[in-house]
Amino acid sequence: MDDPGPLKLLDEEHYSRQLYVLGLPAMQRIRGAKVLLSGLQGLGAEVAKNLVLMGVGSLTLHDPYPTCWSDLASQFFLSEEDLERNRAEASCTRLTQLNETVQVSIHTGLISEDILLDFQVVVLTNSKLEEQLEVGELCHRHGICFLVANTRGLVGQLFCDFGENFIVEDPIEAEPLTAAIQDISQGSPGIVTLRNKDHGHLFHDVDRVIFSDIKGMVELNGCCRSIRVQKDGSLEIGDTSTFSRYLSGGVLTEVKRSMMVRHEPLDIALLQPRLVTQEVHHARCLHQAFRALHKFQHEYGRLPRPWDLSDAEAVVILAQSLEPLKGMSEDLLDETLLRMIALTSAGCLSPMAAFLGAVTAQEALKAISRKFMPLDQWLYFDALDCLPEDGELLNPEECAPRGCRYDGQIAVFGSSFQDRLSCQHYLLVGAGAIGCEMLKGFALVGLGAGDSRGVTVADMDFIERSNLSRQFLFKPQDIGRPKAEVAAAAVHNLNPDLQVTPLIHPLESTTEHIYDDYFSRVDGVVAAVDTFEARYYVANRCTHYLKPLLEAGTEGTKGTASVYVPHVTEVYSGPASAPASEDGPYPICTIPYFPRKFEHTLQWARNTFDGLFRLSAETINRYQQAGTSIADTDGQQVLISLKQVLGVQRVRPQTWEDCVVWALGHWQVCFHDEIIQLRRHFPPDKVLEDGTHFWSGSKPCPQPLEFDISQDMHLLYVLAAANLYAQMHGLPGSSDQTALRGLLSLMLQPDPQQLNPTFSSNLNLAWVPAELGPEQLKELQKAMGAWSKGPPLTPLLFEKDDDRNFHMDFLTAAANLRSQNYGILPANRAQSKLIVGQIIPAIVTSTAAVAGLLGLELYKVVSWSRPLGAFRHSNLHLAENVFNRYVPFPPAIQKFQDMIWTRWDRLKASAGQPERTLESLLTYLQEHYGLKVRMLLHGPAVVYSARQTHETQTLRVTELVQQVTGRAPGPGVLVLELSCEGENDDTAFPPLHYEL
């Protein structure tokens, strides 16, 4: 079914983070899509939750079965009150509450051919093979995208059939390549020289590009051509011999190529499986294991009983008797693997459902949006590494159903492990998208659900509308409330036995007196934070207190999940802050005068916004209230912005037309006059003393713009600037572009020269006089008098998320016009917002997937001592079908003389009673560790240096710390860093824990 039906109005603020991943065309398709989902156990619930949060047009639920105890271990829409209720009916209301714009309905009959024709995508979860084959054949015949997903204990499978001629319009997540043009030759072939020749090597032969914004050789604008990449990075583009001569400017943009996918129907794919894996033999064993489980279920009417050896042997025999797979060499099946799958196949685990449900929903999204390459065709996933390495078999009685909400989990790990889970106390840092998924997982597995234990969640942020497309614990009525408090209450509703304590204090060095008590008492920590600084700080506290750390992060459809266990794995070694830009901090002249990339012009636009509409208003208000001289104003840049605010009229605006006159005059200042003056100071042909051209390489020579009423970006700038100017002065604005175009036409007809500003531009003020002279200040003071006669101005605080306030419109237009001045590649409004807001693109599928992967590692951390080989770091890229899990590195070993240690180790010394002196401590370290200390540090403060006088050594250690830091150490442990004689440059001694 290709027709998605009428499009629904898209709430761009609600889906803002997802829009950065998928783009508007894909989102519009999603909003019109109809999906049928059959099977509402844990896996189906995860798929449904993700699809509803992502905003599919309609979701129809189908499940003929009643709720049972084992469902509650992974199905978060169900509770004990729903036992014996139909799963689809019990889930429907709660699903609808996640996103009221999605139509959620229930189908109660059989899935017939007529029913299927109403859907674009059909998803079956935990279904029988006979149903899969029947529905799959009908979907393949009618061109309906068909997915099958199953989990059995610690293994899962996903199958995709999108038909024989499925077109993927946008196969990869990366943005199209763009490059600025330096020159285009007239010839056959024509040669394009790029401003940065290295960019040419990013393209490939036969890539297609489209041209825009070229001056002179305008025949190429909007033209799409194939290219050939030359050795020097230039591009051959075919015949340009009859075209006009190239003058300047222009951008070429890669045209993404669509790709056709051909999928086999399920009946053929069962015997000729195309597997997404690097471990083909292992995946084939899993494939045969699922076939054998289907056969067992068909013959016995049930799945194998938990940890029942006779049932497991029957599954092994069935697998060996299956029709062999076609087109592959006959490898022996791994009987141990088959047996372990069968022993645990009755289990229903939340982390498995979370991971596979996320991948399944992403594949359904690919089917709907035709964005990103779908799986080809089978994906198998197993987490059997969660079981003990020695292969010890559990007692079937230990894993038998108890008639409790954890029966699905007890079937895999046993009741003793469930008791151990309930006795845990964990700290979760971050209640955002990943944090909400982790809290859901905690509730389902019963982490800390025993008496007096529980979970503590820390997050200082408040709920915003853009959170609702990924953070399913929040509802629209929660906007503005603390995330931690709302999430804690929501999770308690999922599992009333779980007590969640919310903390809304920031987690940083200044609040260690609050959080260190939690770090010292918890059994482990989960970091679900979105900054390098926060992740680094949490990891350091875990290392200090020797606590296991589980941490995850996402960007778009990429995600990572990592585990750090004291003395077993490496410690967290990520950066303490965000990676620096390739330029480092921007030099002060780069932003206003010598930008090289769009980020520079966007920062210039941001600075201009603050100068014009905030700082100037605050200055005028202070002048109006105090009546002080304008010469008392701090900062030349504020005065420069103030002069520009007063504008061409030098009188306070009274009407919308006055605001338009000001905005047009300011356009002239910024994009024409300033550039003319800059070129006067640094002519285009200026040569430096060393013979190089001043304007060369990464310093493009700017070109002045001429105002053109037909150019949308020119009009947008005047529209946004005039409205902001009106807002600042308490005047009504206008969003009528047609009326504005007419008004500007009248203004420009008589004498455009009258719009030239009275005051010189900020460039002249910045370069000619170091400060404003007396005459200039006098003129400015006189003009300020006009503003004193009206009410105070309204300073505008930049807000990127209100699409009606013209803030982002101004930044987008200003940055793009400045980019045109310098021949820099432009960016659209969404890209500008992404950059200026430092927004991380996000989608619920990647957050749910990494949360599921962390949940699997949690099983290992909670269980008894596990070796390094049991743990897994993971990284995934859902858009490109990349799924990697690998064993972490062990702790790095360091040596010094006879000492051997890792970063998990520490030196210990008791303060004693009465407290020991520094001299006593130095002696203790030499006698017990063989270390002759030459320096002691507490943070950045030097507590002891070997060059100090002997009298210092007679003081108590805490007295010295108080002297150098200005505050007395609190109770507990004082952490000191050592430098010792004989150490190498790369020696990092363990910290000294001085126990008070």
Joined together, the tokens standing for residue 4 give 């998605």
- DSSP string covering 16-63: HHHHHHH-HHHHHHHHT-EEEEE--SHHHHHHHHHHHHHT-SEEEEE-
Radius of gyration of the chain (CA): 33
Out of 92, 399, 436, 589, pick the active-site residue. Answer: 589
User: Taking a C-beta distance cutoff of 8 angstroms, is the pair 260, 164 a contact?
Assistant: no
**How many residues in total does the chain contain?**
996
Joined together, the tokens standing for residue 47 give 């798929």
112-132: burial string, b at 16+ Cβ within 10 Å, e else: eeebbeebbbbbbbbbebeeb
- Say if residue 961 is exposed, middle or buried (CB neighbours under 10 Å; 0-12, 13-18, 19+): buried
- Say if residue 638 is exposed, middle or buried (CB neighbours under 10 Å; 0-12, 13-18, 19+): middle
Strands (E), 836-947: 873-877, 882-886, 894-896, 899-901, 907-910, 933-938, 941-945
Measured CA to CA, the distance from residue 818 to residue 645 in angstroms comes to 19
Kindly state the DSSP code that residue 694 receives in the 8-state scheme: S
CB atoms within 10 A of CB 597: 19
Measured CA to CA, the distance from residue 250 to residue 451 in angstroms comes to 68
Give the residue among 959, 985, 939 at the shortest CA–CA distance from 544.
Answer: 939
Helix (H/G/I), strand (E/B), else coil: 546 = coil
Asked whether the bond before 753 is cis by omega within 30 degrees of 0, the reply is: no
Q: How far does CA 809 lie from the centroid of its chain?
A: 24
| Distant-in-sequence, close-in-space partners of 462: CB < 8 Å, separation ≥ 6 | 480, 481, 482, 483
Joined together, the tokens standing for residue 318 give 């069935």
Q: Is 391 left (phi over 0), alpha (psi -120 to 50) or beta?
A: left
Residue type, 119: F
Known catalytic residue at 589? yes
Residue type, 135: V
Measured CA to CA, the distance from residue 471 to residue 303 in angstroms comes to 34
User: Taking a C-beta distance cutoff of 8 angstroms, is the pair 888, 562 a contact?
Assistant: yes
Q: How far does CA 558 lie from the centroid of its chain?
A: 8
User: Taking a C-beta distance cutoff of 8 angstroms, is the pair 158, 378 a contact?
Assistant: yes
Measured CA to CA, the distance from residue 98 to residue 970 in angstroms comes to 47
Helix (H/G/I), strand (E/B), else coil: 687 = strand
Q: What does DSSP say about strands 235-236 and 191-194: parallel, antiparallel, or unpaired? A: antiparallel
| Distant-in-sequence, close-in-space partners of 993: CB < 8 Å, separation ≥ 6 | 906, 907, 908, 909, 973, 974, 975
Q: Is 952 left (phi over 0), alpha (psi -120 to 50) or beta?
A: alpha
Joined together, the tokens standing for residue 836 give 């200026």
Q: Which residues are catalytic?
A: 589
